Structures are given as C-alpha cells and as structure tokens.
Amino acid sequence: MTVTRRSVLVAATATPAAGALPGTAAAPAALAADASAAAGGRRTVPLRDGWRFALVDPDGITDPTGADDRAADPGYDDTDWREVAVPHDWSIEQTPTTDHGTTSGTGFLPGGLGWYRLAFALPPACAGQRISVEFDGVHMDSYVSCNGTEVGHHPYGCTGFAFDLTGLVHTDGGTPNVLAVKVRNRLPSSRWYSGSGIYREARLVITEPVHVARWGTYVTTPEIAADRAGSAWRRPS
C-alpha cells in the first residue's frame, strides 16, 4: 500500500465528527430531518461529501475565459464540474512542473484559481436559528458566497474562519441552498508545501439566537506571584 497525502486526507474524513447528523455525509443535498435536534443547543453538521469542483486556471488567479465568473449564482450549471470530498487539495493532484510559478517549496505543484460549490437543504426546524459556516483552513485567498450573496473574504490560508449565513439560507426543507467558494493561490505563497483549496474540515453550525459566540470564552491569569497563579474564566461583555 502506498501512503500519499491524498490517502491520508481521505482516511481522515472516514469517521464522522462528534455531533454529526445521521445521513448528512451521505446526502449533503438534503440534511437529515433530525436537524431539529439543534434546537436548544449548538449542533455542527460536517460538510464533507457532495462538493463540486473546477480548477479554472492553474497558471493565475483570474478566469481567462470568463466562463465561471457567475459560479456563485445558485442557478449556475456545475454539472461538468468534478465531485470531490472535503478536505481537498487540488495541487497534490497535479503533475510536478517548473511552470506556473512553482518552486521547490511547493513541490513544483501548481496553485491557481479554483471554485467549489455545495448544495444542501435545511429543514423547517432550523427556522429562527442562527446558521453559520466554518472552515478550518482554505489555502490561500478565499471568497465565500451563499445563495449568490458574498458573505466574506478570508485572505490567509493557515487559520480557520466563519461567516454568518442567517437571513440568506432557506429553511423550508426543500429549496436548495448553494455555498460557493472561490479560492486563489498565487504562487509562491508559502515557504513549504501548503496545497490548494479547502484542505481542512468545513461544517455548518446551528445555534439558538442567543448563544456564546465563536471564541467567545477564554481563560486569563490576572494574578501571578512567585508561588502561584490565579486563573479566571471570562466571557466578553
């Protein structure tokens, strides 16, 4: 058996994360009805399978043809795109080359411009809830849209981020929601191999309207002496 970066990423997605809704990974286009269990607490839904992907240009960060300029629109036809699972690294799938601005630090593998799209439905139980999307890492420069509206831009590939989708998503159980992620990786972008794309986990987070914000709690040490340190749990006001 040959172990590759790709095989490790695939193996890492084989076990559902804690709190995953049954059936979600197998059918991301229609979240399981028991998403209603999110009521009264915080629930996470892994977004792993069912993504569609297109490598638009391995040589630059713009679309040379303009064919995918409207890829964030919900009605955009992505049937010709390839289906992938997240985490996904499109660079590792390429052939090593000295073209496209590659270097030894990138393993001579190209970056460029790629698009991801995912369609999913939310049940009526999610109405009135706060819905957000979290990405643990997208390399390198990402733009996230929901149902045709850009919700945020994250220009760094090594940190996680989240965007609020409340008010943009449909919660009637049938109307599809479409997440679109444009990723630009202009080389050189790292001193070591980074990969390109949604290379870490992604998930939906469903909470009550009143909830603790992402990174909303922390521990400090307001008192430090030679023989002891006092800690305090705090929540931003």
For residue 188, cis peptide bond before it (omega within 30 degrees of 0): yes
Give the model confidence (pLDDT) of 98-111 as tens digits: 998 899 888 999 99
For 131, the domain range is 5-212
Which pLDDT score is estimated for 120?
A: 96
Report the C-alpha gap between 116 and 103 in whole angstroms: 25
Which pLDDT score is estimated for 77?
A: 97
Give the SS3 label for residue 37: helix
Q: Is residue 197 part of a domain?
A: yes
124 vs 64, residue with greater confidence: 124
Report the C-alpha gap between 164 and 182 in whole angstroms: 17
Q: Is residue 200 part of a domain?
A: yes
Q: Is residue 153 part of a domain?
A: yes
C-alpha dist (Å) from residue 112 to 59, 76, 83: 5, 21, 19
Q: Is residue 39 part of a domain?
A: yes
Domain tally for the chain?
1
DSSP category for residue 24: T
Which pLDDT score is estimated for 232?
A: 76
Which pLDDT score is estimated for 29?
A: 44
Q: How many CB atoms lie within 10 A of CB 12?
A: 12
Q: Is the pTM of this model over 0.85?
A: no
Report the C-alpha gap between 91 and 185 in whole angstroms: 10
Least confident of 54-68, 117-131, 153-167: 54-68
**Chain centre distance of CA 193:** 20
Give the SS3 label for residue 141: strand
Q: Is residue 166 part of a domain?
A: yes
Q: Is residue 218 part of a domain?
A: no
DSSP category for residue 128: T
Q: Is residue 80 part of a domain?
A: yes
C-alpha dist (Å) from residue 77 to 45, 52, 150, 178: 25, 11, 18, 12
10 vs 33, residue with greater confidence: 10
Kindly state the average pLDDT of the residues 21-50: 60
* Residue 157 contacts residue 139 (beta carbons within 8 Å): yes
Least confident of 74-83, 160-169, 191-200, 224-233: 224-233
Would you say residue 94 has pLDDT above 90?
yes
Which pLDDT score is estimated for 12?
A: 47
CATH number at residue 31: 2.60.120.260
Give the model confidence (pLDDT) of 130-166 as tens digits: 999 999 999 999 999 999 999 999 999 999 999 999 9
Portion of the chain with pLDDT greater than 90, in percent: 61
Q: Is residue 203 part of a domain?
A: yes
Report the C-alpha gap between 23 and 16 in whole angstroms: 10
pLDDT band for position 7 (50/70/90)? low
Which pLDDT score is estimated for 13?
A: 44
